[in-house]
Amino acid sequence: MTDSMFALIAEELARIAADKGETLPALDPDTRFLGGDLPIDSLDLATLLVVLEQRTGQDPFRAGFVQFNTIGELAALYRPGVPAGAA
Amino acid sequence: MSLRPPPSWLHPGVRLIEAERSVGWGEIAAQADAFEAAFRAAGGRVALPPRGVPALVAALVAAERAGVELRLSRRTTAAEAEIPHHEPGFAVLLETSGTTGAPKLIRHDFQRLRGRLRGATDPDARWLLAYEPAAFAGLQVILTALAAGATLVSAPGAGAADLARLAVRHAVTHISATPSFWRAFLLALDGDAPPLAAVTLGGEVADQPLLDRLAERFPTAKHRHIYASTEAGALFAVGDGKAGFPAAWLDGGIDGVGLRLRDGVLEVSSPRAMLGGDGGWLSTGDVVEVRGDRALFAGRLDGRVNVGGIKVSPEVVEQVLLDVPGVRDALVQAAANPVTGHILTALVVPAPGVEEAVLRAAIRTAVADLPSAARPRLVTMTGSIALGAAGKKTRKGTA
């Protein structure tokens, strides 16, 4: 996992939460998306994945569903070295 | 007063677990008696707002006794819907889900609803309700558990993560849910997993990677995905662990259901469902591609997309955005993702001089009445929207 990918996920999660009027607890790579403390549902998680595809140009799920539970596990699915925000 | 016996479709051994409370026929019967008095007084047609599964079951018992139509609402404040006219008597009215705020009411004859139930008569089964109780699929799960005298665990309104916790805590053995639910369920499960014996998928296309993940995670369970259409209900089940269905079924049919392709669209004929139209054949609107010996689903003919098990129309949502003052043009399209299948996204061209923050707030207000699956999750402001060769907006992501 790259730090920049973690930072990008944290930034977009915060934006999604803010749109719902929620604030996020402190995040770390072991933070779970669903079933943990984050105030997000599966539609929010779906939104995050679409935004990450737009911002990184990568779709790790092209072939279908890949298991991940935590921020760290999701970040590891993206290739390092692609600058966050590069469009 | 002595306890009245349950109706033939409710096994007295049933247990309903909701909000940490477990109720059996005794509690259901008492509530049914109270409902029955009210329903007889009202007569004709009665409505039940969402009040949880035990109340819904009691209302079904009472409505049958009182001979009234029971409307099961999905929202506390039911939008006014056009009500189909019919002979009086016991029946169940369900609201459809979809893009717009006004639900359509579908009247179901109770005996025919029950006639669709199949399999799973195991009284030791512990079901988790992963659909809304007042939705067609939810009612099927409830009626299955009632008939078997099984245990049903429910938490209406709870998300997949909460339901995953409940499934582990109550050692659930049977779950029927949408692929979107299953993906979120897998994402939410920690090390612990419920002892599932039956994994059923329906309501959306089941993709191969998800079927593989479920087979890995629940290797001893029986896995199947169900194909249903709005008009005909559940039509067939696929149990070989592969996406789509065997192409041979397009010739011979399956389980009494005839299947054929017309211009790439799946048509069905079923003796169970009263289908009108062309010699009993009904177009499902689902586009199917045959690859080798497999028939695979490839989207909807009408451009509707599946968002977490709910079919939504990008065009209808686009009309909602175009009606917002300050919006000069809008394009709503589907973006694929591995959690809910799709979400809707929007490109919006603001009218000159409109402040973006003000416009965003107006859009938020305008879409607030839509079901959450139909709201555009990402709204991007843009200077113009490209038109395709035919002079129409090019809508990506729809078949």
- How high is the pLDDT of residue B392? 58
pLDDT, tens digit (0-9, with 9 covering 90-100), for B360-395: 999 999 999 888 999 999 999 998 887 655 555 666
Q: Which of A33, A43, A66 sits opposite B372 (nearest CB)?
A: A43
Average the pLDDT over each of A2-6, A43-47, B170-174 and give the range with the smallest value. Answer: A2-6
Q: What CATH number matches the domain at B305-381, 3.30.428.10, 2.40.30.10, 1.20.140.10, 3.30.300.30?
A: 3.30.300.30
8 Å CB contact between B330 and B319 = no
Task: Test A65 with B207 for CB contact under 8 angstroms.
Answer: yes
Task: Report the 10 Å Cβ neighbour count for A34.
Answer: 24
8 Å CB contact between B35 and B62 = yes
pLDDT, tens digit (0-9, with 9 covering 90-100), for A3-20: 899 999 999 999 999 988
**CA dist., res. B397 & res. B399, Å (int):** 7
> Does residue A87 register a pLDDT over 50?
no
Buried b (16+ CB within 10 A) or exposed e, B66-82: bebbbbbbbeeebeeee
Nearest chain A residue to B183 by CA: give it: A65
Task: Test A69 with B187 for CB contact under 8 angstroms.
Answer: yes
User: Coil, helix or strand for B172?
Assistant: coil
**CA dist., res. B55 & res. B37, Å (int):** 15
> Does residue A75 register a pLDDT over 60?
yes
- Residue B66 pLDDT grade (very low, low, confident, very high; cuts 50, 70, 90): very high
8 Å CB contact between B321 and B292 = no
How many residues would you count in chain B?
399
Instruction: Specify the higher pLDDT residue, B104 or A56.
Output: A56
- Average confidence score pLDDT of chain A: 87
> Does residue B207 register a pLDDT over 90?
no
**CA dist., res. B152 & res. B157, Å (int):** 16
- Mean pLDDT for the stretch of residues A37-65: 91
B378: contact with A, CB 8 A cutoff: yes
Average the pLDDT over each of A31-35, B76-80, B257-261, B374-378 and give the range with the smallest value. Answer: B76-80
Domain limits, chain B: 15-233, 305-381
- How high is the pLDDT of residue B282? 87
B171: contact with A, CB 8 A cutoff: no
Q: What CATH number matches the domain at B15-233, 3.90.850.10, 3.40.50.720, 3.40.50.12780, 1.10.3470.10?
A: 3.40.50.12780
Domain limits, chain A: 3-75
pLDDT, tens digit (0-9, with 9 covering 90-100), for B112-154: 788 767 655 789 999 999 999 998 889 999 999 999 999 999 9
> Does residue A36 register a pLDDT over 90?
no
Angle at B287 between CA B282 and CA B288, to 5 degrees: 100
- Average confidence score pLDDT of chain B: 88
Which of A34, A48, A71, A78 is most worth mutating to test chain B (most B CB atoms within 10 A of its CB)? A34
Which of A22, A55, A65 is most worth mutating to test chain B (most B CB atoms within 10 A of its CB)? A65
> Does residue B97 register a pLDDT over 90?
no
- Which amino acid is residue B250, in one-letter code? L
8 Å CB contact between B93 and B70 = yes
Instruction: Specify the higher pLDDT residue, B81 or A33.
Output: A33
Among A25, A81, A26, A20, smallest CA distance to A48 is for: A20
Q: What is the CATH number of domain A3-75?
A: 1.10.1200
- How much is the pTM? 0.80
- Residue B12 pLDDT grade (very low, low, confident, very high; cuts 50, 70, 90): very high
